[in-house]
Chains A and B, each alone.
Chain A
Amino acid sequence: MNFPILSSLILLPIIGALFLFFTKDKEGNNLTAKYVALFTTIVNFLISIYLWIAFEQSTSNFQFIEDRIWIEGFINYKVGIDGISILFVILTTFITPLCVISVNNSVKNRLRDFLIAILIMESFMIGVFCALDLVVFYLFFEAGLIPMFLIIGIWGGTRRVYSAFKFFLYTLLGSVLMLVAIISIYWITGTTDVVRLYEIGIDVKYQNLLWLAFFSSFAVKTPMWPVHTWLPDAHVEAPTAGSVLLAAILLKMAGYGFIRFSLGLFPVASETFTPLIYVLSVIAIIFTSLIALMQEDMKKLIAYSSVAHMGFVTLGIFTLQQQGIEGSIIQMISHGLVSAALFLTVGVVYDRMHSRLISTYGGLVSVIPKYSILFMIFALASLGLPGTSGFIGEFLILMGAFKDNFLVAVIASLGVILGAAYMLWLYKRVVFGKLINEDLKKIVDLNRSEYFVLSCLAAPILFYGFYPDPLINTIEVSVSDLISMHETNLASK
């Protein structure tokens, strides 16, 4: 296989962005720009589907590897995917076209620039999931800050400047320590190639500090309690499409990083710090669920629910059990779909009513039934009802957790109940009840593009809820090999 398929996945959105750059930005009518962006992202999605078909599931080796010398004797441009990363790549290419379709309602001015930012963002995100060299990974990981900063800052709500700064500086602060760790790894082992590092391993005496440096970056990005405070701000202020990208994909970079780098490179340290992660995850699950209960702003509520769900993810990853890690990956994919859908549903009513406050709404079911049904599917998926993808993820995570630590698993299970509480309560207050607000009587149901986008998200949520095998088959071998590698590393320490 000589065709550089991953590089073309990474490059295509940038080429699309270049095309967009040369289209004229007309006020009011931006169909050309939109079609160019849509075309690019759909082609990218099709390529990634081909990637999934061509992907060999029976091995945990990296596939579609490209390896080029970049800085002589130091860094190679190396990309490749295995069972863990391919799902994230597909998630990215799947969510981005939906963002592009949904964009016309929420972004009024400078649509072309917005689409350019989204496309550039997509290529950086794919890069993160494909990178097999630490420096290349860092480059993509950090570069994503630039478009996201602009998306929040230019097209955001009233407190956009504060939120954009907070987002940027928090993540940058977390990441610089990772850069120190990456360079130190180079000097300790002589390479930054992840595959080579998996083989040779890193001396145990350095692992704790290096793990902490990586942790500082991933914990901010995940986000874990107590460094999660940037997320609600960023979510609330970002335009709908920005929130979708942020929740669906950006947060997954950190979870992916934990699996790929923290577990893979520092097995001993991961074992040492498991209690820390457990405590932080459990606090995140319980504490942020309680906060979510109290929210009056819908977007903020969903943002806090994201923190709680990511708490499950980190918990699952560090159970170091087959089920736990598989559950975490499925939970991340599922959360990617569900949170994207929830932000879009909030966006739909926000575009009509210009309010995100729960108290504005009530009794929507009698005026916009189609919307209410789809919203229900997403709300139930978010709380993990059996038959939705959310259930598979949470169930596997808790199974892994029970194997490893009974107490933690019990507390985390309580979080599931809280999750149900805030989600159902939100749904009840927004959709059911009496229609009090007079303005709501004139609200119109979903238009075609909104209906299409939300259905596109509902379909996989339900499908993988009933039949998760395609997902599990894809990740199974990679995860089990990761765990066996982890165990041999631990045994030989």
Chain B
Amino acid sequence: MENLNLILPEIFISLSIMFLLILGVFKKDSSKITVNLSLFVILITTIITINETFSVNRETLFNGSIVIDQMSSLMKIITLIGGFLVLVISSTYLKIFKLYNIEYPILIISSILGMMVMISSNDLIVFYMGLELQSLALYVLATYNRDQLKSSEAGLKYFVLSALSSGLLLYGCSLVYGFSGSTNFDIISNQLNSNEYVLTFGIVFILVGLAFKISAVPFHMWAPDVYEGSPTTVTLFFTIVPKIAALTVFIRFLYVPFLNLIDQWQMIIIFLSIASMIFGAVAAIGQTNIKRLIAYSSISHIGYTLAGLATATNEGIQSSIIYISIYVVMNLALFSCLLMLKRKDQYYEDIDDLSGLSKNHPLLSLCLLLILFSLAGIPPLAGFFAKFYVFKAVLEQSMYFLAIVGLLSTVVAAFYYLRIIKIIYFDKEKDKYDTDHSLWLKFSLTVSTILILFYFIFPSLLIDVVSRINII
């Protein structure tokens, strides 16, 4: 008998989804209670997962198709906390757009369930199942504001391109299965050490599919449009939560089944990384919409995360995980600010709307200042340390080219972050924005800004947690 305790979080969350669906059907006007219950569900799941972290080192289930280890627990916790905060700060926005329905929280927790399955997957089929579960939920979320043309366009675009990438991914999986005779990652890892060209094709297809999911250049085309078109809270969800799951899967694929084929994939990852860093930095310069700009900035951040993965060392993987964790905090803070730009039930999302913000809203501007400098990677803010760990890992492998290109593109990226700061601080002020924000929004902004600002005092805390992750 399998030890089902290990997948208790997943079991609990799927039962809850079903319960919430039934509740939504039979009870009228149940949106508020659904949201609150969903929050409760996520909270309980988080607690169960945290509890699990202490007792489990590495366990596999169902003939090794699901793996529970330090990495999966940590990533699940980040996913759940991210999902929780997204859900909790989006209520005002949803109410204003009349989107405050039962479907929203249910879709979010379903996609979280899909991500949790992805994170724990140790098998091609389980992985694909999780991926599709989260993707389907995300398609619907992207079009959630269905009365708006842009939102529908975003969802359709995302659906078509994502389906294409899933197709590539499946094709790659079938090739890999053909060569190894198994769908289990550990078995594949033992089987694959040949230099067959067709196998390389399989790997490339899988990597392309995954690169699409994390929007690495040159498979990033969907990101700016989808980010811009989706409702802001959904964009927030897109920029942080699915990235964590996709990155985990990326790490698993590279370092479990394909570990022996490093020569084949290392150059690909380095290319993806360099291309994303440079393109993300350059393309963001001309943007006028904040959400589009964030899309490009997230592309360049993904580039730095991939740089850590390209090293093929445990330090590299850890630095990537640290990077993505700090990135999540920074993005959460940035979107909290964005959700505060509201005047008479209308949200503003152009960069010019920030003009002269510091005159009327000094505290909000100060937070934005810190967040943007942190995103630009200026010490002593958290964003600097994120880059610092990555480049430390990269330079350990003497990959000087990658490090220098990466750091030079931070200078380019600094330009567009500075441009926003310039608009906030140096330009003429506009009308005041509302200040009656929900408590949760203020809470998430305050906490994330404090984390960004004071990270440098205790940098070891995060390192200690992450250093327990040893994949190789």
Task: Identify the A interface with B (CB < 8 A).
Answer: 70-72, 135, 138-139, 142-143, 145-146, 149-150, 153-154, 160-161, 164-165, 168-169, 172-173, 176-177, 179-180, 183-184, 186-187
- In the assembled complex, the CB of A144 is this many whole angstroms from the nearest CB of chain B, namely 10
Contact B396 A187 (CB under 8 A): yes
List chain B residues, Cβ under 8 A from A72: 460, 463-464
- Given known A70-B459, A169-B411, A176-B408, contact A138–B422 (CB-CB < 8 A): no
Interface locus among B25-33, B265-273, B334-342, B372-380: B372-380
Asked whether B414 is an interface residue with its Cβ less than 8 Å from the other chain, the reply is yes
CB of B407 within 8 Å of the partner chain: yes
> A150 to B380, Cβ gap below 8 A?
no
A180–B463 CB distance below 8 A? no
Do the beta carbons of B425 and A150 come within 8 Å of each other?
Answer: yes
Whether B245 sits at the interface, judged by CB under 8 Å, is no
Please, which residues of chain B bring their CB within 8 A of the CB of A139? 379-380, 384, 456
A170 to B464, CA, bound (A): 36
Looking at B373, B407, B415, B459, the one whose CB has the most chain A CB atoms below 10 A away is B407
Contact yes or no, A154 B404, CB < 8 A: no
Given A143-B380, A165-B418, A180-B400, does the pair A71, B459 have CB atoms closer than 8 Å? yes
Chain A proximity mask over B420-460: 1 for CB below 8 Å, otherwise 0: 01100110000000000000000000000000000010011
- B413 to nearest A CB, angstroms? 10
Residue B121 interfacial (CB < 8 Å) = no
Cross-interface CB contact of B378 among A142, A150, A187, cutoff 8 Å: A142
CB pair A168–B379 under 8 Å, yes or no, is no
Residues of B within 8 A of A165 (CB): 415, 418, 422
| Inter-subunit contact A161/B426 (CB<8 Å) | yes
Q: Verify if B391 is at the interface (C-beta below 8 Å from A).
A: yes
How far apart are the CA atoms of A179 and B389 in the complex, in Å? 12
A135–B379 Cα distance when bound, in Å, is: 10
Contact B459 A187 (CB under 8 A): no
A120 to B: closest C-beta gap in Å: 11
Cross-chain contact A172 with B422 (CB below 8 angstroms): no
Given contacts A139-B379, A169-B411, A176-B411, contact A153 B422 (CB under 8 A): yes
Q: What's the minimum C-beta distance from B117 to chain A, rounded to whole angstroms? A: 35
Q: Would you list which residues of chain B between 368 and 404 have a CB under 8 Å from chain A?
A: 373, 378-380, 384, 388, 391-392, 395-396, 398, 400, 403-404
The answer to whether the Cβ of B410 comes within 8 Å of any Cβ in the partner chain is yes
Residues of A within 8 A of B403 (CB): 180, 183
Let me know if B395 and A184 touch, CB within 8 A.
yes
Partner of A177, one of B373, B379, B388, B404: B404
* Nearest A residue (CB) for B385: A71
Nearest Cβ on chain A to B325's Cβ, whole angstroms: 16
Given A143-B379, A146-B378, A179-B391, does the pair A168, B426 have CB atoms closer than 8 Å? Answer: no
Q: Which residues of B contact A (CB under 8 A)?
A: 373, 378-380, 384, 388, 391-392, 395-396, 398, 400, 403-404, 407-408, 410-411, 414-415, 418, 421-422, 425-426, 456, 459-460, 463-464
Compute how far the CA of A477 lies from the CA of B269 in the bound complex, rounded to whole angstroms.
53
B395 touching A168 by the CB < 8 A rule? no
Closest residue of chain A to B425 (Cβ to Cβ) is A154
Contacts of A172 on B, CB cut-off 8 Å?
Answer: 378, 410-411, 414
A-B contact pairs, 28 of them (CB 8 A): A71-B459, A71-B460, A72-B460, A72-B464, A138-B379, A139-B380, A142-B384, A143-B378, A150-B425, A153-B421, A153-B425, A153-B426, A154-B425, A154-B426, A168-B414, A169-B411, A169-B414, A169-B415, A172-B414, A173-B408, A173-B411, A179-B388, A180-B391, A180-B395, A183-B392, A183-B395, A184-B395, A184-B400
Contacts of B411 in A (CB 8 A): 169, 172-173, 176
Count how many pairs of residues, one from A and one from B, have CB atoms less than 8 Å apart in the complex: 78
User: In the complex, what's the smallest C-beta–C-beta distance from B83 to chain A, in angstroms?
Assistant: 30
Bound state CA distance, A78 and B399, in angstroms? 29
| A186 CB contacts on chain B under 8 angstroms | 392
Smallest CB-CB separation from A178: which chain B residue? B407
Q: Would you call A71 and B463 a contact (CB within 8 A)?
A: yes
Q: For the complex of A and B, list the 6 residue pairs with the smallest distance between their C-beta atoms, beginning with the closest.
A: A176-B407, A139-B379, A183-B395, A142-B379, A173-B411, A153-B426
| Contacting residues, chain B, for A138 (C-beta < 8 A) | 379
What is the CA–CA distance of A135 and B350 in the complex, to the nearest angstrom?
37
Check if B410 sits within 8 Å of A176, measured CB to CB. Answer: yes
Given A70-B459, A172-B414: A187 touches B395 (CB 8 Å cut-off): yes
Q: Which residues of B contact A149 (CB under 8 A)?
A: 418, 421
Chain A residues with Cβ below 8 Å from B388 are 135, 179, 183
B311 to chain A, nearest CB (A): 12
Question: A75's closest neighbor in chain B, by CB?
Answer: B459
Residues of B within 8 A of A153 (CB): 421-422, 425-426
Residue of A nearest to B419 (CB): A165
Give complex CA distance A61, B449 in Å: 40
C-alpha spacing A146/B379, complex, angstroms: 9
CA gap between A164 and B425 in the complex, in Å: 12
CB of A179 within 8 A of CB of B407, answer yes
Q: How far is the CB of B468 from chain A (nearest CB, A)?
A: 14
Residues of B with C-beta under 8 A to A143: 378-380
Across the interface, name the chain B residue whose C-beta is closest to A155: B426
Please give, as numbers and ranges, the residues of chain A lying within 8 Å of B395 by CB-CB distance: 180, 183-184, 187
Closest CB-CB distance, A7 to chain B, in whole Å? 13
Task: Please report the C-alpha to C-alpha distance between residue A153 and residue B391 in the assembled complex, in whole angstroms.
Answer: 31
- Cα separation A162 to B414 with both chains bound (whole Å): 14
Please name all residues of chain B whose beta carbon is closer than 8 Å to the beta carbon of A180 when the two chains form the complex: 391, 395, 400, 403-404, 407
CB contacts (< 8 Å) of A142 on chain B: these are: 378-379, 384
Q: How far is the CB of B422 from chain A (nearest CB, A)?
A: 6
Interface contacts beyond A154-B426, A169-B418: sample of 16 additional A-B pairs, CB < 8 Å, sorted by A: A71-B459, A71-B460, A72-B464, A139-B380, A143-B380, A146-B378, A153-B425, A153-B426, A164-B422, A164-B426, A179-B388, A179-B391, A180-B403, A180-B407, A183-B395, A186-B392
A143 to B385, CA, bound (A): 13
Residues of B within 8 A of A173 (CB): 408, 411
Chain B nearest CB from A233 CB (Å) reads 15
Residues of A within 8 A of B421 (CB): 149, 153
Q: How far is the CA of A143 from the CA of B410 in the complex (A)?
A: 15
A177 with B426: CB separation less than 8 A: no
Q: How far is the CA of A145 from the CA of B421 in the complex (A)?
A: 13
* Residues A168 and B418 in contact in the complex (CB < 8 Å), given A71-B459, A139-B380, A142-B378: yes
Provide the residues of chain A in CB contact with B464, threshold 8 Å: 72
Nearest B residue to A25 by beta-carbon distance? Answer: B362
CA gap between A37 and B437 in the complex, in Å: 34
For the complex formed, measure the closest distance between the CB of B315 and the CB atoms of chain A, giving whole angstroms. 11
Please, how many angstroms separate the alpha-carbon atoms of A150 and B366 in the complex? 12
Which chain B positions have C-beta within 8 A of A161? 422, 426
Closest-CB distance, A321 to chain B (whole angstroms): 35
Residue of A nearest to B370 (CB): A146
In Å, the complex CA distance between A176 and B392 comes to 13
A142–B410 Cα distance when bound, in Å, is 13
Most buried by B among A71, A72, A165: A71
- Nearest B residue to A135 via CB reads B388
Write out the residue numbers on chain A whose beta carbons fall within 8 Å of the beta carbon of B459: 70-71
A428 to B161, CA, bound (A): 73
Min CB–CB distance A259 → chain B (angstroms): 23
CA distance A165 to B398 in the complex (A): 32
How many angstroms between the C-alpha atoms of A165 and B388 in the bound complex? Answer: 23
Q: Which residue of A lies closest to B397 (CB)?
A: A187
Bound Cα distance A165, B412 (Å): 12
> B422 contacts which chain A residues (CB < 8 A)?
153, 161, 164-165
Q: What residues of chain B lie closer than 8 Å to A71, measured between beta carbons?
A: 459-460, 463
**Which residue of chain A has the shortest Cβ distance to B409 in the bound complex?**
A176
Q: Which residues of A sit under 8 angstroms from B379, Cβ to Cβ?
A: 138-139, 142-143
Q: Distance in Å from the Cβ of A146 to the closest Cβ of chain B? A: 6
Q: How far is the CB of B446 from chain A (nearest CB, A)?
A: 15
Tell me the complex Cα distance, A386–B310, Å: 61
Question: B453 CB to closest chain A CB, in angstroms?
Answer: 12
Bound together, the chains give a CA A177 to CA B421 distance in angstroms of: 25
Report chain B residues within 8 Å CB of A146: 373, 378
